[in-house]
Structure 1
Amino acid sequence: MKKLLASTVIAAGFYALAGTAAYADCGEVSIAEMNWASAGVAAHVDKFILENGYGCTATLVTGDTMPTFASMNEKGQPDMAPELWVNAVRTPLDAAVKEGRLIEAAKILNEGGVEGWWIPKFLADEHPEIKTVQDALKHPELFPAPEDASKAAVTNCPAGWNCQVSTANLYRALGAEKAGFELVDTGSAAGLDGSIANAIENKKGWLGYYWAPTAILGKYEMTRLSFGVEHNKADWDACTAVPDCADPKVNSYPVSDVYTVVTKGFADKAGVAMDYVKARNWDNGTVNKVLAWMDENQGTNEDGAKYFLKTYPDMWSKWVAPEVAEKVKAAL
């Protein structure tokens, strides 16, 4: 009996050590904290879960799409880019994946990054006949210009943004000026956000460009309109996204693929932590709400990550094993 008990204790100790080793396999991991809010929150979520759930030692490094990708591809550092908008690096990324240097893990934004022309949801509910941008342009009386209510407005991006070019070309392609609409430049990101806030808080119509995930769409309910056509990449690249294109056609904005990308070196050492990286994804609506909370509470990326982990345990606990989820919850 004593020998049996001793054997049982030794075996239990062995399996406990083996389990601990499995969760400590990833060792040190460097994570790119990109310079926009949704990616920053994702980096801190990863740091918290990898450290507290898997025993990794995680370090955040400042990142941006092009330099982070180049560094991962050429130097193998950082180990992870939690939110990489891969359309901008699709060709070299495909080559890096094929050659075994990088790995596409989870599609972190499971709906992709979306762009388009939006109207307030209350207006869409009041006018169910408005399904497309073309439908909206038939009702200039619903979308008063901020400086002259006798005119209608399409709100554009600030100067210098890529979306200013595409919106201006689509404005011309749709014949919006003939329909009684002027194209309004809000001057800055704050001006663009403020125009939406002012319209909704005063129950006024608004039509213009925006994208998700963003804090403003977590705070205010907006409806994205269809352009009535599929996205034509060739025409987009040749004209829609080109300044002062001579003959723009109606087109739809592309959906941006947004993945977590890791180095082969990290994947090889991460052990079961890699299962989490492959499973982790969220929808734009959830990210919008987290970003809105951050905006309202002047929260940092770390604050946003903890808010997400405390508020949405039913979501993130599905990304990890039950025992890992308990460790993360205990650390909160």
Structure 2
Amino acid sequence: MKTRAISALLALPMIGFGAAAWADCGEFTLASMNWQSAEVLANLDQFILNNGYGCKSQIVTSDTVPAITSLVEKGQPEVVPEAWVDLVPEVVAGGLKDGKIVELASSLSDGGQQGWFVPKYMVDANPELATLAGVLKHPELFPAPEDPGKGAIMNGPEGWGGTIVTDQLAKAFDLPGHNFEVVSTGSAAALDGAIAKAYGDKKGILAFYWAPTSLLGKYEMVRIDLGVPNDPAEWKRCTSVADCADPKPNAFPKDNVYTLVSKGFSEKADKDVIDYFSKRSWTNDTVNKLMAWMSDNQATGEEGAKKFLKDNPDTWKAWVTPEAADKINAAL
């Protein structure tokens, strides 16, 4: 989940972008973000393109808003591998309408995910706990830290969008009426610690969380079915609004995450490179596990990319030409 305050649209600095020259693949820039999944994806793209197709791609570090805004306004960086487009929908929609950018593969095939999660071992023991209706029948399985006589849902840090949504959905689904309370963990680290402790003790826990994350790669969790579809209008009206007094039952939406490229790049780049960007997509489960390995081993994005390539040849070979696959294998 990329829940962050967006206070200003800052243009990316031009230093390091350079002029695009696409002959024989040529030179272009890939935007890496300041979170792990985007970092490893940018490094994966760079390794595959530079070694498999003879490109001279360079990675520039940015963040969602400035990277996408600069792509639309200036055509650079030429590629944003992991673009959380729902964070800047107007900018993306305008860029697509004006023909300034092209949307290629869904970087995360199952989208970015937010929701309420329980440990998989609980669902294995009692399948009805995969649903909110089942969870609400059993507050005793999810004891509150300060009041074990009540059930609890562990919430995220104050101010996060997902924290506000959890507070609102707790009202909408009448968790207090089912003997549940919302517990503020105060920080992402404390929320992680609560989940890790519950998992280590094989105890029950219901928690707000998101994917892709290294924690879900380390601890198998199940996102429970809230029993209703996402209603975008209600989400905008009340679910995501902290001071809205009458929230209705709703579900978390899927966050759309795509690879965006400049129009100029899409027209001038080698067709095999565009074909790669049109196919390259992976699941949250794949990324979660890779991020867990990176965290456990304090690995860089480059090391994570090589780990993925070595462990998942059947996946990435479907994205590239046979000739490129041979060169990538040789580089590994």
Q: TM-score, normalised on structure 2?
A: 0.91
Worse overlay, 23-32 or 281-290: 23-32
Question: Does the 8 A contact of 1:103 with 1:264 survive in 2?
Answer: yes
What is residue 302 of structure 1 aligned with on the other side?
Answer: 302
- Correspondence 1:166 to 2:165: yes
**Whole-Å Cα distance in 2 between the matches of residues 192 and 124 of structure 1?**
20
What is residue 280 of structure 2 aligned with on the other side?
Answer: 280
Deviation, 1:98, is 2.5
What is residue 289 of structure 1 aligned with on the other side?
Answer: 289
- Correspondence 1:111 to 2:135: no
What is residue 313 of structure 2 aligned with on the other side?
Answer: 313
CA 313–24 in structure 1, closer or farther in 2 if over 3 Å, else same? farther
CA 24–75 in structure 1, closer or farther in 2 if over 3 Å, else same? closer
**Whole-Å Cα distance in 1 between the matches of residues 23 and 76 of structure 2?**
20
In terms of Rg, which structure is larger? 1
What is residue 132 of structure 2 aligned with on the other side?
Answer: 133
Secondary structure in structure 2 of the residue aligned to 1:192: helix
Secondary structure in structure 2 of the residue aligned to 1:318: coil
**Whole-Å Cα distance in 2 between the matches of residues 37 and 48 of structure 1?**
17
Secondary structure in structure 1 of the residue aligned to 2:318: helix
Question: Does the 8 A contact of 1:110 with 1:283 survive in 2?
Answer: yes
Question: Does the 8 A contact of 1:25 with 1:269 survive in 2?
Answer: no
Higher helix fraction (1 or 2):
1
**Whole-Å Cα distance in 1 between the matches of residues 302 and 54 of structure 2?**
19
**Whole-Å Cα distance in 2 between the matches of residues 68 and 145 of structure 1?**
42
What is residue 244 of structure 1 aligned with on the other side?
Answer: 243
Worse overlay, 295-304 or 320-329: 295-304
What is residue 13 of structure 2 aligned with on the other side?
Answer: none
Deviation, 1:24, is 5.9
Question: Does the 8 A contact of 1:54 with 1:273 survive in 2?
Answer: yes
Secondary structure in structure 1 of the residue aligned to 2:260: strand
Question: Does the 8 A contact of 2:169 with 2:249 survive in 1?
Answer: yes
Secondary structure in structure 1 of the residue aligned to 2:128: coil
Secondary structure in structure 2 of the residue aligned to 1:130: helix
Q: TM-score, normalised on structure 1?
A: 0.91
Question: Does the 8 A contact of 2:157 with 2:184 survive in 1?
Answer: yes
Deviation, 1:213, is 1.2
**Whole-Å Cα distance in 2 between the matches of residues 210 and 134 of structure 1?**
19
Aligned residue-pair number? 310
What is residue 75 of structure 1 aligned with on the other side?
Answer: 74
Deviation, 1:329, is 1.0
Question: Does the 8 A contact of 2:69 with 2:91 survive in 1?
Answer: no
What is residue 58 of structure 1 aligned with on the other side?
Answer: 57
What is residue 197 of structure 1 aligned with on the other side?
Answer: 196
Question: Does the 8 A contact of 1:137 with 1:176 survive in 2?
Answer: yes
Secondary structure in structure 2 of the residue aligned to 1:41: helix
**Whole-Å Cα distance in 1 between the matches of residues 117 and 89 of structure 2?**
28
Question: Does the 8 A contact of 1:120 with 1:200 survive in 2?
Answer: yes
CA-atom RMSD, angstroms? 1.3
Deviation, 1:178, is 2.2
Secondary structure in structure 2 of the residue aligned to 1:187: coil
Deviation, 1:42, is 0.4
Question: Does the 8 A contact of 1:173 with 1:249 survive in 2?
Answer: yes
Q: Which amino acid aligns with 1:318?
A: A
Deviation, 1:97, is 1.6
Secondary structure in structure 2 of the residue aligned to 1:158: coil
The gaps in structure 1 that reach 5 residues or longer are 1-22
Deviation, 1:157, is 0.9
What is residue 226 of structure 1 aligned with on the other side?
Answer: 225
Over residues 148-196 of structure 1, what are the superposed CA-to-partner deviations in whole Å (9 max), with x where a residue is unaligned? 4333211111112111100000011111122222211111111111111
**Whole-Å Cα distance in 1 between the matches of residues 135 and 229 of structure 2?**
18
Question: Does the 8 A contact of 2:130 with 2:222 survive in 1?
Answer: no
The gaps in structure 2 that reach 5 residues or longer are 1-21
Secondary structure in structure 1 of the residue aligned to 2:255: coil
**Whole-Å Cα distance in 2 between the matches of residues 25 and 202 of structure 1?**
56
> Identity of paired residues, percent?
52
Question: Does the 8 A contact of 1:33 with 1:43 survive in 2?
Answer: yes
CA 329–247 in structure 1, closer or farther in 2 if over 3 Å, else same? same
